[in-house]
Amino acid sequence: MLLAPVVEIFCNIDDFCNNYSKKESQRYLPNPNKKRRNRATSLSESELVTILVLFHLSHYRTFKDFYISCVLEDLSTYFPMAVSYPRFVALTGRVLETLTAYVLSKAGEQTNLYYIDSTKLVACHNKRISGHRVFKGIAERGYSSVGYFFGFKLHLAINHQGELVSFCLTRGNTSDLSVLSKLTKGLSGLMAGDKGYVSKKHEEELKKQGLTLITKLKKNMKKKMRTAFEKFFLAQRNLIETVIEQLKSVCHIEHSRHRSPLNFLVNLVGGLAAYAIKPRKPSINTTKLPRALNNALIHN
């Protein structure tokens, strides 16, 4: 049984979809031939997005089981016009743009305290790379702390409250530094990352926009002078690793059963949307900080 507040989630998504469709309709090109595009279905766009988000808040590991057992049976009173499973899968590509815009609308507050990291999204087992066809020419081999993989990288920036601030998807062989400027655009304050973000050039560039990047030092690097708060903040970098773990284990953003790149994107963005609306997120407990560090947190 699904424990998520279905009505509350639907109302929130429906309000967003109505406002978004009104704004986007003003940008559409005129249709002189009056041809019907994206004909209306029995399920509205809001219902499609709601079902996708609810899946990532459920205990189901496969969307097919969730849709057949939960949506068509347990939630039949909420979605009386639900279509068949194959038809629903065919319709999901229509809402990718709206779903992405919804996630961006739920971006966390700019608290001036951020963490940055990336995680691998494996497309298939390494032994099956040569025979893999779904992401052929799209996914690439990359390297992580646990070895080589075939797939993509999800780059994330979060605030100290565990909220998503920005995200970016790249091929598996993309360097973390190559997307640093995109993830940090418009941010200022203090940001902590791992050793993969060590770069004097990028540190100086971020310093110009008012963002201080701190990382752990490599063995051949000289020690740097840091404030007590910077040392504390860097020591709490496992916060973003906890967020990534929840995205994978709770919101199911990663699996190797995708049948098309479009379904992969819908599943990924749906998981990010589910995490964005979660009421309880991992965060730094500032109430346990010494008074001096707590004051620094407020003024930063």
C-alpha–C-alpha distance, residues 189 and 212, integer Å: 6
Contact criterion met (CB below 8 Å) for 230 and 193: no
Spell out the per-residue pLDDT of the chain, length 300, in tens: 577 889 999 999 999 999 998 887 666 666 666 555 556 778 999 999 999 999 999 989 899 999 999 999 999 999 999 999 999 999 999 999 999 999 999 999 999 999 999 999 999 999 999 899 999 999 999 988 888 999 999 999 999 999 999 999 999 999 999 999 999 999 999 999 998 898 889 999 999 999 999 998 887 777 888 888 888 899 999 999 999 999 999 999 998 888 899 999 999 999 999 999 998 899 987 665 555 455 555 555
pLDDT of residue 292: 46
Domain spanning 113-254, CATH architecture:
2-Layer Sandwich (3.30)
How far is it, in rounded angstroms, from Cα 54 to Cα 2?
A: 8
Query: Residue 225 has what pLDDT?
Result: 82
Query: Residue 62: which of 262, 276, 256, 265 has the closest Cα?
Result: 256
Q: pLDDT at position 222, please?
A: 79
* ∠ CA 237-206-240, rounded to 5°: 20
**Residue-range domain boundaries for the chain:** 6-23+40-105, 113-254
